[in-house]
Amino acid sequence: MTHDNQHDSYYDYYEKLANWSFDEFGIHSESLTDWDLYDILRSLVTRDSRVLDLGTGGGEKLLLEYPECEEILGTDYSPAMIATARRNLEACGRTDVAFEVMDNLNMNVPDDHFDVVVARHTITDPAQIIKCLKPGGHLLIRGVDKYDCWSLKMLFGGGQGWDDPAPVSITDYENVLRAGFKDVDLVPIHEWDFFKSREQFRAFLAKVPILDGMQDRIDDKLLDEYIEKNTFGGRIKLLRMYYGITARK
């Protein structure tokens, strides 16, 4: 999938998902990697900091996990997601947060303005991000890698990132380096997701883009084969493979 096609696909996908939450699937996650984006963020942010959150979605993680500071701007390509984020903000009552619709590949923010830019599970253009960071400012990226849920994708013969020539973690890492960032680190992140029932697991796969292009026609025979091989202690487990990047302007 090309960068532009992936961009448009994300727009269509998240416009449809503006009013649901991962909480409905009852997922229990266990991290196998000692790398936490929110711990790193909290170590960098002071009361005077300005933070830009790219791909904010419905703003739930931002409102829950981000420390209070001078300014936090959450942006998303999807107007429906931003509408959800603004409703969540109204219910939360924070005064240091604003949400705006913005295309990550056509950023409309001031130069040299933010102390930290965070990009979670979203497309980025590091060349544009570095312009909006203050000198010495930090970039934090957390993304889904090509080999996420790979045993499931192998069974189904496709899925998100299946045809990518290189893992997106490597592509992002190289783009951050090319943009001129310093102290660039790439960390693989592995987690187990556990599901209590077949129904929850199937509903999850029908909602998220892991089996990209197959969500509406999941093969139940293959699904049951995966569940039989990957049920431990009464729970279905799925190996998630993410990546984290930290960098400094």
* pLDDT at site 16: 53
104, 172 Cβ separation under 8 angstroms: no
Task: Place 20 in a pLDDT band, splitting at 50, 70 and 90.
Answer: low
CATH for 83? 3.40.50.150
Q: pLDDT digits over 112-138, tens only?
A: 999 999 999 999 999 999 999 999 999
Distances (CA, A) of 88 to 28, 60, 72, 81, 98: 23, 7, 15, 10, 11
Task: Place 10 in a pLDDT band, splitting at 50, 70 and 90.
Answer: low
Residues of the chain above pLDDT 90, percent? 87
189, 121 Cβ separation under 8 angstroms: no
Question: How crowded is residue 71: how many other Cβ atoms within 10 Å of its Cβ?
Answer: 15
Residue 125's contacts (CB-CB under 8 Å, 6 or more residues apart) are 104, 105, 107, 175
The number of distinct structural domains making up the chain is 1
Mean pLDDT, to the nearest integer, of 190-216? 93
Question: How crowded is residue 199: how many other Cβ atoms within 10 Å of its Cβ?
Answer: 10
User: What integer best gives the mean pLDDT of the chain?
Assistant: 92
Range of the domain at 153: 3-248
pTM for the predicted model, two decimal places: 0.90
115, 66 Cβ separation under 8 angstroms: no
